[in-house]
Amino acid sequence: MPRRAKSRRCDEEYRQEAVHGGARRLSLSFLRNGPGGDASRGRFLGRLYAAMDPRVLGALRRVPRERFVPRKLAAQAYEEKALSIGEGQTISQPFIVAAMTQALQLRPTDRVLEVGTGSGYQAAVLGELAREVYTVEILEDLSLRAQGTLRELGYSNIHFRVGDGARGWPEAAPFDAVIAACAPEALPPALIEQLREGGRLVIPVGSTRKTDSEQVLWLYTKTAKGFEAKELMPVRFVPMV
């Protein structure tokens, strides 16, 4: 399976040198301490992470999250919170990335569609676990930035498109899994249509107005007769634009 071409040693050297301000939040330090040293929250998150697939946690450990945030926020890269990446977009907090990835139940032979490339971090995590990743971003500047970062890190199994993610990537369908990092107010039919039977879609759905109730993260599994839906958790994502 195509993976990163660069050595793990080079990645680790970058982690040690690039995270400025003396911060050394490496190798998912949020698993141990939680944000801001909050011990009770850290223990809570630790219990949640402990139940996760070791393959997912391994992928998170291998991807240098600080490479996907603005340099001024690199010291906060592993804190359990979303961070701004510009263009009105964010990189999701680490636990949400882990939970959404786990829900996909990826296999090494899978082909995955991602809606909302954003920083490219989620695509990198997917690229560690799946054979091919197809990622769509409507904001060209964000897509180009993510492409640069992922290519610098040596990922060769991630394919990019600038366009409307709600339309999916029909030429590359069907997919074994689909994941969305932005929230539509209703489920886009194309994303279900482009799943193979038995495929899984993880997506936040709901209003993006702050005055309304929270969105819900859903898991949809495609069946011969349509799909099955399972509610996972309340969330708050940027809108699908």
Q: What count of residues does the chain have?
A: 241
* Three-state DSSP class for residue 82: coil
For the beta carbon of residue 195, count every other beta carbon within 10 angstroms: 23
Rounded Cα distance between 235 and 223, Å, is 26
Strands 132-137 and 215-223: unpaired
Q: Backbone phi, then psi, for 167, in 5-degree steps?
A: -90, -5
92 is annotated as an active-site residue? yes
Write the secondary structure of 139-164 as one string of H (helix), E (strand) and C (coil): CHHHHHHHHHHHHHCCECCEEEEECC
Residue 102, H or E segment: helix 94-104
Q: Which of 27, 29, 40, 92 is catalytic?
A: 92
**Catalytic residue numbers?**
92
